[in-house]
Structure 1
Amino acid sequence: MADTADIADFHDDVVRAEPRGSAPVPLSVLDLATVGSGRTAREALATTVELARLAERRGYHRFWVAEHHSMPGVASSSPAVLLAHLAAHTDRIRLGSGGVMLPNHAPLVIAEQFGTLEALAPGRVDLGLGRAPGTDGATAAALRRSDQLAEGADDFPRQLSELTRFLDDDFPDGHPYARIHAVPGPVQGRVPGGVQRADRPSIWLLGSSGFSARLAGALGLPFSFAHHFAAANTVPALELYRESFRPSAVLDRPYAKIGVQAFAAETAEEARRQVRTGALAMLRLRTGRPGLIPTPEEAAAYDYSPAERDFVANWLSNVVHGTPEEVREGLDALAKRTGADELMLTSNAHSASARVRSYDLIANAYGFPPAT
């Protein structure tokens, strides 16, 4: 599925990911371009650019955006478009999808989109792939052709294989797609007697259960687990990934990253006030009422039922929040408990300025380079 150029590329990436400051593992950022109550998608996307530039200045390793659909509070429905914009506003930080929901798309389209991104930002692009639709069933049907919908996530391994072959331009002779090329891509690097490979995006598998963990291990790919919304499955999934891992041309040893809800403020009280907005937004989403991220005042005034209070309490128990020192302690403990090779921090609080400030405070807590 890949040649020896890929293993060198990925290990160069890992070397560049050596922890900054006193962080035990590299820290990265996942952003959903969240839209707060009273705000617009334009403002949310502008904040995403601001966060990406801050993450680069402060020494975070990656900046990923995620594909979601039909969710008023999430403006990152088109990762490739947003990543192209971010590439134009950054210089060094790795950019990627966390992720592209592959069953929603033709593999050739994703190969073309991310081949274009790699051409725009050489050596900086990650292609994180998920097998869920990133939305409800009706919206998934609107995204796909009718014959694709029946296949769904169960066809993910075949789609992944097809996408990888398009990215590497290596369908075997006689294959129906052997004469089809994803452009930009390796076809531009063909020279007499062979192919001079261009860099291609680093492929990651994403998951919140054991399926993608096992597949990533079997294929020898890096794996990113959604601890931020499936915390109970984190340790079992990472163990399954490591047990299933087979060395490949991409990796000679497992590399596991986990997504973490994290939020820092000057006081623990302010951090809790901010993260409760994201908890209420998730409660509404899980009960079929997706909307904009509520304000702290809305979250404080909401009349929670006993079951809803339990949901919020359980949700907040997996959000690392508090003062910068408390967040650092929580992240360090999580990295030690899970053995993760990298932590990807995310936050869906209402206040854009508070979210930006949170990443700044966490960088300060770890002694990352000052913003210059």
Structure 2
Amino acid sequence: MAAPADDGIQGTAPGTAPVPLSVLDLATVGAGHTATDSLRTSVELAKLTEARGFHRYWVAEHHSMPGVASSSPAVILAHLAAHTSRIRLGSGGVMLPNHAPLVIAEQFGTLEALAPGRIDLGLGRAPGTDGATAAALRRSEHLNEGADDFPEQLAELTRFLDDDFPDGHPYRRIHAVPGPVQSTSPGGVQSPHRPPVWLLGSSGFSARLAGMLGLPFAFAHHFSAQNTIPALDLYRESFRPSELLAEPYALIGVSALATDDEKEARRQVLAAGLNMVRLRMGRPGLFPTPEEAAAHDFSPMERDFVTSWNANVVHGGVDEVRAGLDALHKRTGADELMITSHAHSGALRLRSYELIADAYGLPTA
């Protein structure tokens, strides 16, 4: 039994792709470029991947990172909705502990009103930043409270989305608008859509919770590859059917970069590695140029980190990337591959998705 068609959870694999292909966008800002440049690339990328048959396009919430312009997913998604008409749009994800559940319900109710039947609400429990920034976001020094209370926050958010707090609840007379309450007002008409909730994770906590609640699950393979198989196994073992989903459905985020010249892929991936080194050292910056990365004097520890990190990045020429994606799908059994391509220039990011679409025979624009 498949998920309801209106929820858009399960897509159809286009061309010769083994499963649906989707996009995860961090709105990367390269050295020498602006956030405006990056967000213009996001618009072009959303239009390109919609035309080429990708299933969904998600934007990730990050904060206090100069090289990432996606601190406000709802704002970006509203802009992308105005430039697309078919591709599903969503958060990959919104970090629930950073926000009041009512605010998220209102934001995504608004997005659903702007793009009916095309919105996904992916939720994570990490801060998407460092501890000091998380404290500034949450106005609290007790950062673990948000993560520990995640199931309760999720339940509250779901109640706001469905407008079904029970009688006697202190929020019974509070309504997320746009939302279902508008259909009960005089002359109101019920919207046929409600954004489906996804849980995101990089370990077992969200995998188990998604399974127990019968929700679709998105795993961050692109930065937690060692946990991918255990988390997916746990999700499938924990799964209980729900009104939303009768069978488990899991996508994985995959870092992949295809280029016309294999050497260029190696150059870009080395720059991405340097970018991650700086992030892990608490010095996040703009995405470095390949020339800067090539000139960098990596310490032995940094070199080991980059080698380990890039071992999980599918990169190279188009045939090499397709083979890597096929192998990853076979190894994990993922129901969907969500590709994130990191490169210094927007043009290379666009070209990467175009080449991957060509490799699988997706429709031409």
Aligned pairs (5 A) from 1:271-282: 271-282=265-276
Task: Determine which of 183, 202, 207 is the counterpart of 1:208.
Answer: 202
- Is structure 2 residue 104 aligned with structure 1 residue 130? no
Partner of 2:69: 75
The Cα shift of 1:341 comes to 0.1
The Cα offsets for residues 19-60 of structure 1, whole Å up to 9 and x where unpaired, read as: 111000000000011100011111111111111111101111
Partner Cα separation in structure 2 for residue 24 and residue 251 of structure 1: 21
| 2:211–2:239 contact (8 Å) kept in structure 1 | yes
The Cα shift of 1:345 comes to 0.2
Structure 2: which 5+ residue stretches go unaligned? none
Partner Cα separation in structure 1 for residue 12 and residue 228 of structure 2: 23
Partner Cα separation in structure 2 for residue 53 and residue 196 of structure 1: 30
The Cα shift of 1:127 comes to 0.3
Partner of 1:253: 247
| 1:28–1:62 contact (8 Å) kept in structure 2 | yes
Partner of 2:236: 242
- Is structure 2 residue 222 aligned with structure 1 residue 225? no
| 1:185–1:198 contact (8 Å) kept in structure 2 | no
| 1:10–1:202 contact (8 Å) kept in structure 2 | no
The Cα shift of 1:226 comes to 0.1
- Is structure 2 residue 263 aligned with structure 1 residue 269? yes
Q: 1:90 to 1:148 in 2, by over 3 A?
A: farther
Partner Cα separation in structure 2 for residue 266 and residue 29 of structure 1: 20
The Cα shift of 1:195 comes to 8.5
Partner of 2:169: 175
| SS of match in other structure, 2:92 | strand
Partner Cα separation in structure 1 for residue 3 and residue 14 of structure 2: 23
Partner of 2:312: 318
Q: 1:242 to 1:64 in 2, by over 3 A?
A: same
TM-score, normalising length from structure 2?
0.97
The Cα offsets for residues 201-239 of structure 1, whole Å up to 9 and x where unpaired, read as: 111000000000000000000000000000000000000
Aligned pairs (5 A) from 1:110-121: 110-121=104-115
Aligned-partner residue type, residue 146 of structure 2: G
The Cα shift of 1:147 comes to 7.6
| 2:204–2:231 contact (8 Å) kept in structure 1 | yes
Partner of 1:308: 302
Aligned pairs (5 A) from 1:149-168: 149=143, 151-168=145-162
| 2:7–2:195 contact (8 Å) kept in structure 1 | no
Aligned pairs (5 A) from 1:69-108: 69-108=63-102
The Cα shift of 1:276 comes to 1.5
- Is structure 2 residue 27 aligned with structure 1 residue 33? yes
- Is structure 2 residue 58 aligned with structure 1 residue 61? no
Structure 1: which 5+ residue stretches go unaligned? 1-5
| SS of match in other structure, 2:17 | coil
| 2:6–2:193 contact (8 Å) kept in structure 1 | no
Task: Determine which of 4, 8, 18 is the counterpart of 1:8.
Answer: 4
- Is structure 2 residue 332 aligned with structure 1 residue 338? yes
Task: Determine which of 180, 185, 210 is the counterpart of 1:186.
Answer: 180
Aligned-partner residue type, residue 152 of structure 2: R
Partner Cα separation in structure 2 for residue 342 and residue 308 of structure 1: 32
Partner Cα separation in structure 2 for residue 18 and residue 89 of structure 1: 23
| 2:63–2:71 contact (8 Å) kept in structure 1 | yes
The Cα shift of 1:277 comes to 1.4
The Cα shift of 1:266 comes to 1.2
Partner Cα separation in structure 1 for residue 277 and residue 156 of structure 2: 37
| 2:215–2:244 contact (8 Å) kept in structure 1 | yes
| SS of match in other structure, 2:24 | strand
Partner Cα separation in structure 1 for residue 105 and residue 217 of structure 2: 19
Q: 1:20 to 1:173 in 2, by over 3 A?
A: same
Partner of 1:299: 293
| 1:186–1:198 contact (8 Å) kept in structure 2 | no
The Cα offsets for residues 216-266 of structure 1, whole Å up to 9 and x where unpaired, read as: 000000000000000000000000000000000110000000000000011
The Cα shift of 1:198 comes to 3.6
Number of matched residues?
A: 363
Partner Cα separation in structure 2 for residue 331 and residue 163 of structure 1: 35
The Cα shift of 1:279 comes to 1.2
Kindly report the root-mean-square deviation, in angstroms, between the aligned alpha carbons of the 2 structures: 1.6
- Is structure 2 residue 39 aligned with structure 1 residue 51? no
Aligned-partner residue type, residue 258 of structure 1: I
The Cα shift of 1:196 comes to 3.7
Partner Cα separation in structure 2 for residue 234 and residue 13 of structure 1: 20
Partner Cα separation in structure 1 for residue 335 and residue 3 of structure 2: 17
Partner Cα separation in structure 1 for residue 7 and residue 67 of structure 2: 36
Partner Cα separation in structure 2 for residue 215 and residue 323 of structure 1: 38
Partner of 1:3: none
